[in-house]
Every structure is written in C-alpha cells, then in structure tokens.
Chain A
Amino acid sequence: MEISDVHKNSKVLIDGIPYEVEDMEFMKPGKGRAIYRLKLRNLSDGSTIERTYHSGDRIDEARISTHEMQYLYQEDDHYIFMDTETFEQHFLSGVQLGNKKHFLKQGVVVAIQMMGDKPLGINMPTFVELEVMGSGIGDKKDTFSAQTKAAVLETGYTIAVPTFIKEHDIIKVDTRTGTYVERVSTRK
C-alpha cells in the first residue's frame, strides 16, 4: 500500500517481518516532500523500531487473520494452543504473550492473530476472572503494604490483592496492567 494509506494500528511487513504501527508522525516542509516517521512494534518479539518514509513510498501490508484457539498447556517457554476449527496445534512464546501469559487458564478459548500459519499474538479480554488459590494468604511476610497482600491465582501468578480477599474468592484482573480490579464472588 501507499505510505499515505498507513495509519496507527496498521499491520505491515518489513523484510518479511510483521510489525504493527504504534505511532505515526506526518511531517512536511511547506514546499517539500512529506515525511512519515513510523514507530513499529515487531509482532513476533515485541521489540520496537523506527523507520522514516517519504510520500510515494510503498510498504507491504501484513495479512493478519484471527483464529479461535483453546489454550492447552505450557511446555518450557512454549504456550500450546489448539485451533478450534482445524484442531491444529500452535505455540506462542512467553515474550509474544507478554503480561497476558499470567492469566491463561487451561481450556480457555482466546483469539490468536496469525500471519499465514504463524501465530503472532493473542487478543485477550481486558478483564478476566480468576480464582485465588492463596498460598501464604494472611502470612505476614507476604504483605505488600498495609492495604494489600500477596495472593497466588489459579494460573500460578502472584498478584497484590486487598487484605479482605480469601482463598477460593473469584477476582477480576486487568490483563493490560496485571493488577487486581475487584472481587467478583466469595466462598460461602
């Protein structure tokens, strides 16, 4: 596509590597050529690069499709998913998943972005509900501050929660920041 058609969140291919446009700055000397400065995030490893383009330049569009997949299990740094339509298995690395890996519950169905047969990333709900398994809850040494304490979730992730949270409570977690939002239900 023409560089002038690129916008924030466009997916593009540079040297065969898929990137997402994180930020785009349009600059133009009054009588001169337009200059586009792109900040690009590598969809495979999360690293960012900057590139400068000029009006008239072309850039390859990355064809990204989204597939529903079920999370099966973790093996070393590989997180294994199964396509719910084709039953093919794919894996994403911890880096590709980022924070979101801490909130993957076995059996959950998520949307995976694919380029061809290569998984690139995961679309996860902003909020997920997880059970507190709670080893060390109430233990003095696990207290983060006066108001919070450490809790272990069913995914194995340790999170700061308010002191009133008990074992087997279900809590809502923000997957972007990895922080506690609210208590959803409590054990009777």
Chain B
Amino acid sequence: MLGNDHDRLLGIKPNLQRRALIYHHTRAFFLEQGFLEIETPIRTPAVAPEQHIMPFKSEDWFLSTSPELHMKRLLASGYDRLFQISRCFRKGEHGRQHNPEFTLLEWYRTGADYRHMVYDTEQLVLTVATRLGLGHVIRYKDEGIDLTPPWPRTTVRDAFLRAAGWDPVVEPDPLRFDTDLVTRVIPSFAPGRPTVLLDYPAPMASLARLKPGQPTVAERAEVFIGGIEIANAYSELVNAQEQGMRFRAEVETIEREHGQKMPLPHRFLDALAHLPECGGIALGMDRLVMLFCNADSIDEVVAFTVDTA
C-alpha cells in the first residue's frame, strides 16, 4: 500500500507542479487588476441553504460550501474587487470531476453583471494558458480546444431545445433538467470550443437576480470547457427580502426532503441591504487544473483525495 502511494504521488508530480504555476498566474492576473485577495472562514455558523448542496457538520457549525456569503459581506462594507482561493466541502460529491473537499476560486466586482464575469473568465483562462506556454489552443482528451475569446454563448432555453427537445423556461422540471443537462445538453456542446450557457430558469436562480424585463430567467451563466463545468456566474441578487424568501423556501425543502434543519444566514441577509450592484463567479480550480494537465480525473491533480487521504 505504501509503495502504491509512493508511486502514485511521484506520478502526479508534473501535474502538481503545473497546479502551483496555475495558482501563481491566477493570483497575478487578479492582483494586476487591483483585486484584493482575502480569506474567509472555512468553519461557519451558516451556509447558503441549497437543496442539492449538503454541508458537512462541524459540531453545531458547518464546513464552508462556498465563500460567497462572507465575500458579499465584505462587498456590502465597501470593498469593490475581491478574490479568494478557498477550500470548500460538499457532502457526497465524489466522482471523476468531484471530491468532497475541493478548491473554489471566487471573485466579485462591483458595478458588473454576469456577462462581465464571463468576460473575466475568458481573460483569466487565456492568460493562464498563455503564461503556461500553452498558447490559445490547448489539448484535452484528444481534442484541440480553441480558447480565443469570445467563447460561443447560448441561452439555456436554446441549448435545451436543440439537444433535449423541450423548453425548461416554459415548463420548469428540475429533475428532468439536471438529468438532461448532464446526459444530453453538455455532451452536445462543440468539443473544440468552450461553451457559455446563459439565462437559467428563474426557479434555478439561487443567488442571482432575475433578468430585468424577462423575469422567467435569472442572470446566471455557466462556463463549460471540454465537457467540464468550470464556473458559475451571477448578476448578484441585492434584494434582501427576495433573497430571504428564496432561502426560507430552500430551508423548508431541505427539512422536508432530508429531515435536516438548516439555520438562515442572518448576518449575510442583514448585510445584503448594503450590497451594491455586483457580479460574482465561482470557478473550480481542480477542474481548471484538470484541463491544463489534460487529466481525465480529479485524482490526477489533487495530492490526496477522499480515497487516498
């Protein structure tokens, strides 16, 4: 067993070396643009209640599922450009692209919306690729992926109509949505280019604002590269009342379906009244490293996973 671990760790050394470089170039990218790097608690009294994201308990508190709420509390106090690379924890998420403990890069900009965050992502990914010496076209799983911006954008509605034959905005069906997204829609994306999905059905807005003049969809975007979901962007919801209502509905669903009582994040909801218009995004660092290392599985880019810890 020890011998196996020794060989495994030695085998992924080039990936871990590249991982360190990716962190270095990512930090440089944000610092050059005047972003402040921050750290927020990993152990916290409340997380954003979300039906399909199960937190680990830590005594009466939780391990962070995302640094979002604390970062927004800083924005509400007058910080304008923030980024963070933080460890997050989500129970039960374990697969080729998932480990229950993983690394999120989140950044926020005041005065920006979800489109701006996608633009940032294009610049970030291209900058890192260039500084790694990979150029505009990276190789991933026998496919050349051209990272030149702008990346093709499509609405969720159009992508579903094309690949799954139904309109999730007109007939919301969350179970069918999640299944078709991973089994039909994502596999239909052109392999040689990233894809940006825009405008999620309003019931899947989470912490995003609804689109002005088109309240059946939310200003939420997801970025996919090489079939991997890389990042999730919002025009952030700054209405404390509406956010409180959404959270209470989630708390009720979680209690009904999982029998688990979740506290409301009161300090965040209080701060939300002062949150300026802003955009935010969460990017899976392990998955970005997978892309740049041409790795098929998260195990190849993380020194120790839940299976080897």
Interface residues of A (CB under 8 A from B): 4, 25-35, 37, 52, 54-56
Classify chain B: how many residues form its interface, as a range. Answer: 20 to 34
How distant is the Cα of A52 from the Cα of B181 in the complex, in angstroms? 13
Which residues of chain A have C-beta atoms less than 8 A from B93's C-beta?
Answer: 26, 28, 34
A183→B233 CA distance, assembly (Å): 65
Find out whether the CB atom of B178 lies under 8 angstroms from the CB atom of A32: yes
**Docked complex: B77-99 residues within 8 A CB-CB of A:** 92-98
The answer to whether A52 and B53 have CB atoms under 8 Å apart is no
Report chain A residues within 8 Å CB of B183: 27, 35, 37, 52
Q: How many A-B residue pairs have CB under 8 A?
A: 57
User: Are the C-beta atoms of B95 and A55 separated by less than 8 Å?
Assistant: no
Complex contact B95–A52 (CB within 8 A): no
User: Are A26 and B96 also in contact (CB < 8 A) when A32-B52, A56-B257 are?
Assistant: yes
**B186 smallest CB distance to A (angstroms):** 9
Cα of A61 to Cα of B133 in the assembled complex, Å: 51
Q: Are B52 and A31 in contact (CB under 8 A)?
A: yes
CB closest residue in chain A, given B177:
A32
Q: What are the interface flags for B159-185 relative to A under an 8 Å C-beta threshold, 1 for contact and 0 otherwise? A: 000000000000000110111011100
- Other-chain residue from B50, B95, B232 in contact with A28 (beta carbon distance below 8 A): B95
B204 interface residue (CB < 8 Å to A): yes
Contacts of B95 in A (CB 8 A): 25-28
Within the complex, the shortest CB–CB distance from B185 to chain A, in Å, comes to 10
Contact A34 B229 (CB under 8 A): no
The 14 listed contacts between A and B (C-beta, < 8 Å) are A25-B95, A26-B94, A28-B52, A29-B178, A29-B229, A30-B229, A30-B282, A31-B206, A31-B232, A32-B177, A35-B182, A52-B183, A55-B92, A56-B257
- Once A25-B95, A32-B181 are accepted as A-B contacts, the answer to whether A54 and B175 lie under 8 Å apart by CB is yes
Interface residues of B (CB under 8 A from A): 50, 52-53, 92-98, 174-175, 177-179, 181-183, 204, 206, 222, 229, 232, 257, 282
List residues of chain A with CB within 8 A of the CB of B53: 31
Give Cα A4–Cα B95 distance, bound, in whole angstroms. 11
Give the docked Cα–Cα distance between A115 and B257 (Å). 33
Complex: chain A residue closest to B185, CB-CB: A29
Q: Are A27 and B182 in contact (CB under 8 A)?
A: yes
Cα A4 to Cα B93 with chains together (Å): 9
Given known contacts A26-B96, A27-B183, A34-B93, what 11 new A-B pairs fall within 8 Å (CB)?
Answer: A26-B95, A27-B95, A27-B182, A30-B232, A31-B204, A32-B204, A34-B92, A35-B178, A37-B183, A52-B183, A55-B92
Chain A neighbourhood of B94, CB < 8 A = 26
Closest to B92 in A: A4
- A31 CA to B52 CA in the complex, in Å? 6
Assembled-state Cα–Cα distance A31/B179 (Å): 13
Q: Determine the distance from Cα of A151 to Cα of B302 in the docked complex, in whole angstroms.
A: 50
How far is B95's CA from A26's CA once the two chains are assembled, in angstroms? 5
Residues A29 and B181 in contact in the complex (CB < 8 Å), given A54-B175, A55-B52 = yes
- When distances are taken between beta carbons in the complex, the residues of chain B under 8 Å from A26 are 93-96, 98
Quote the shortest CB–CB distance from B229 to chain A (angstroms).
6
Given contacts A54-B175, A55-B52, contact A29 B92 (CB under 8 A): no
Choose among A4, A25, A28, A33 the residue that contacts B175 (Cβ–Cβ < 8 A): A33
Q: B297 → chain A, closest Cβ, in Å? A: 11
Bound complex: CA of A24 vs CA of B206, how far in Å? 29
CB distance from A160 to the nearest CB of B (A): 34
Residues of B within 8 A of A37 (CB): 183
Q: Determine how close the nearest CB of chain B comes to the CB of A145; give it in whole angstroms.
A: 34
Which residue of chain A is the closest to B182 with respect to CB atoms?
A27
Write the chain B residue with the least CB distance to A7: B94
A residues near B232, Cβ cutoff 8 Å: 30-31
